[in-house]
Structure 1
Amino acid sequence: MEKKIQKNIPGTTLSTQNGQLLTSSGVPSLDALLGGGLPVGTVVLIEEDFHGSYSKILLKYFLAEGIVSNHSTFIASQDINPSHIIKELPAVIESDPEPETNVPKISGSSNKMKIAFRYQNLQTDNSSDNFKHIGHYYDLSKNMSFCDIENSDIYYWTGQRIENGSKTFSNPAYNDLLKCIKYKIKEGKFFLKDNPERRSVLRIGIHSLGSPMWLPHRKSIHSIDSSRDLDMFIFCLRALVRSAYAVAVITVPTHLYHEISLDRCIHCSDIAMRLQAFSGTELENNQSLSDYHGFFYLTKLAAINSLASKHPGSVEYAFKLRRKKFSIEVLHLPPDIQDQDSKSENKPTLGCSGANKHILEF
């Protein structure tokens, strides 16, 4: 009976592998890597790139998919006004705005491409036939219509009206955010024990959690270490989301934290991914990586209703940002091709002969 109710939830589908309720992240290539989408009841941690621009785009995709699917939305940020993020959501369209047209189609053994042996067994496309695409397509060059945003259930949290302290967190903003999320879940009847007339999903988006704007005030610092606020919040949020029809996506500037703190945050989350942009690094001018804008690392995958999580193995991924689309692809480096003339010039010679003589001629 529970599965029958879950099938009626808009913007969701049941996984054929483990029966888990899935919803789209808004990025089809990311859904394919995650096994079909984001499991409902999980917390997704996105390690921001240095400037935080690409992670913010992933968050916009996630929020836009919720509005198009008639999901309730909870958006929180202390760095910028959350309403500005909503106003910049991409517009929904009917088909892929920029399909992969530069990938050659191979048919027949006579036209088979000669590529390096290490790439022969790798997939040439992220899309998988085993997973049904449950999301929508978006155009990053256009913004979502104002009417669609106004007709949606959106809750904005800025953390500006925080006065009371907290015994759990050194910064009371974390405690206030948890209370607001719990209130939204209770008010919208998203808990598993609730029986609303129309079941829906709550999407929680938190932008740049743990940034310098989240540092506690000097007056509120006490015996609790402020560096533990971040992983403690993720742990509490995970317990809250697990008991509800909700999914949370958090972007964190992890370059500001020590490796030990980062490991605790990843351990407290269900899914963790990292974006490493090429901009501002020595890889920015690398010709072999000119088609991409950064590396994409899937550091942790959720293991729900399963003995082991799906793992992509040793395959490397990269992301690219076009004018209308953000996509994640398998990293394919170009083959090291040299002209025959240049190869012949580099052939070694034996003895003391000149370059124009035979290899065995003295």
Structure 2
Amino acid sequence: MSFVKKNTVLSSRPGRAVPGVKQPDGEKQPPPPGVRPSPLDGRPTTSTGTASLDQLLAGHSGLPLGTCLLVEEQGTTDFSGILLRYYAAEGLVQGHQVHLVGYPPQWKRNLPGLAEPDSKSKPSQPPPAQEERMKIAWRYEALGNSAASANSARGDANQPTFCHSFDLAKRLEPAVCKGSLHPTPSTGPPMLNARPQSPTSPLKAIIKHLQMKLETSSLTDIHRVVIPSILLPELYAPQCSHPSEVLQFLHALRALLRKYSTQLTVIITLQTSLFPRSSGLVRWMELLCDGTLELIPLPATPGAAPPSSSSEKTDQAQGLLKVHALPIYHEKGGGGAETSSFRETLSFSLSATKGLNIKPYSLPPMEEEEKKEKSPASTVKDGIDF
């Protein structure tokens, strides 16, 4: 039996709080620009440059770092390419390192510029009182408004902007670019009179390039990888389409994402008109990516009347969006309205000033049938027979 004086701390593990003993406050380092913790589980997330897409990603309000998103698109449209432009422009404005695959550095000239703030917008109303908030069901209050969520994503006056607004009619000015664009080794097919290619695969050269950049960069640097139209014959050599090449590339890319889980994000686009989802190669590619979205453009209706106003044209759905998988979607993920994204039919519309807007799909209102005018020859007047 040992006699120990009361109120004496015997031992404590480092970093463990002891009741009644004040611990020194550690200095909390602010997150890098363009990164904030997820409201769901606190993991670091960054914006894709599209506010409506950020709200769709399993309740994280952004793309979690260390994840890869695959965006598939049917037809000959390029909505997925516009998503990549927003993604790259957001990274350059935030000061991130953007790595471009397939395209030359001149692709930077096609990035959209920052949109001017809307001076006509109404001032925000004060939050409702506590008694009034209690009258609202907690679930419907959590859903919020899409416009309010987009405004909160762009940041307040005292907080840095998380998701900027871009204008497709403008071009990104070098003065606002805090980051840099890094071209990767060429993946293009060889020309007829060009020298024979080296035995090294172009996709393996890209992995080595990314690995070298990540190893030599600072721990606070955020990297974004833009891979447009993977396996497209115009951008990639024929050997890149072999399953052994592209699957090894995605395996190595997934390993880099897990190793640098607080610095790296990737968005890949794929044309399903050339590589359908029914093929085994595409299914394996989807399994190696953390999230998969599919854009299905709606065909134009021949003979349809043009919209009466610009607002009607903006709100008109231009395609459907299917969610096949979301990053970090597990038993603790997918809170709020995002849990119904798999079952709900979503649509998207593109506007030059508002960008790509994703919302639930609703059929347009049925127009009333016009009354058929009766010809005067078929009319029968009272008391007169023809």
Same-fold call, TM > 0.5?
A: yes
* Aligned counterpart for 1:22 among listed residues 23, 29, 45: 45
Per-residue CA distance 1:327-348 (angstroms, 9 max, x = gap): 2322121233646979xxxxxx
| Aligned match of 1:135 | 163
Match of residue 272 from structure 1: 292
Q: In structure 2, what is the Cα distance between the partners aligned to 1:246 and 1:4?
A: 22
User: Quick one: which amino acid aligns to residue 69 of structure 1?
Assistant: Q
Aligned pair in 2 of structure 1 residues 98, 293: CA closer, same or farther (>3 Å)? farther
Change (3 A) 1:15 1:308: closer
In structure 2, the residue matched to 1:55 is 80
Residue equivalent to 1:211:
232
Aligned to 2:180: 153
Identity %: 23
Paired position in structure 1 for 2:205:
176
Rate the CA distance shift 1:86–1:337 in 2: closer, same or farther, 3 A: same
4+ long deviations beyond 4 Å: 96-99, 127-132, 160-163, 282-290, 304-310, 339-342
User: What SS class does the counterpart of residue 29 from structure 1 fall into?
Assistant: helix
Question: 1:85 maps to which residue?
Answer: 107
After superposing the two structures, state which structure 1 stretch, 178-187 or 125-134, moved more.
Answer: 125-134
Contact 2:251 2:288 in 1 (8 A): yes
Tell me which residue corresponds to 1:201. Answer: 222
Q: Aligned residue for 1:319?
A: 348
Would the aligned equivalents of 2:71 and 2:80 in 1 still touch at CA under 8 Å? yes
User: What does the per-residue CA deviation read over 1:67-126, in whole Å, with 9 as the maximum and x for residues that have no partner?
Assistant: 11111111111xx42x23211111123546998xxxxxxxxxxxxxxxxxxxxxxx8964
| Match for residue 265 of structure 2 among 220, 234, 247 | 247
From the CA coordinates, give the structure whose radius of gyration is larger: 2
Native 8 Å contact 1:228 1:261 kept in 2: no
Task: Please give the per-residue CA displacement for 1:226-285, whole angstroms capped at 9, x wherever unaligned.
Answer: 13433332232122112211101111223222422221111110111111122xx46677
Contact 2:322 2:342 in 1 (8 A): no
Aligned-partner SS, 1:314: coil
User: Take 2:31 and 2:54, find their aligned partners in 1: how far apart are those partners?
Assistant: 20
Matched-pair contact (CA < 8 Å) for 1:46–1:274: yes
2:101 to 76, 82, 86: 76
TM-aligned CA distance change 1:175 to 1:158, over 3 Å: closer
Q: Indicate which of 224, 230, 246 corresponds to 1:230.
A: 246
Contact preservation (8 Å) 1:74, 1:205: yes
Once the two structures are TM-superposed, the CA of residue 141 in structure 1 deviates from its matched residue by 0.7
- Structure-1 residue corresponding to 2:360: 330
CA RMSD of aligned residues (A): 3.6
The amino acid across from 1:23 in the alignment is: T
Q: Post-superposition shift, 1:152?
A: 2.9
Q: Does 2:19 align with 1:10? A: no
Conserved? CA contact 2:77–2:297, under 8 Å: no
TM, length-normalised to structure 2: 0.66
Relative to 1, partners in 2 of residues 1:340 and 1:67: Cα closer, same or farther, differing over 3 Å?
closer
Relative to the length of structure 1, the TM-score reads 0.70
Q: CA-to-partner distance for each residue in 1:134-157, whole Å, 9 max, x for gaps?
A: 2111111100113344x5322112
- Which structure 2 residues correspond to residues 113-132 of structure 1 after superposition, within 5 A? 126-127=146-147, 129=149, 132=152
SS of equivalent residue, structure 2 residue 248:
helix
CA change 1:215–1:156 in 2 (3 A) is closer
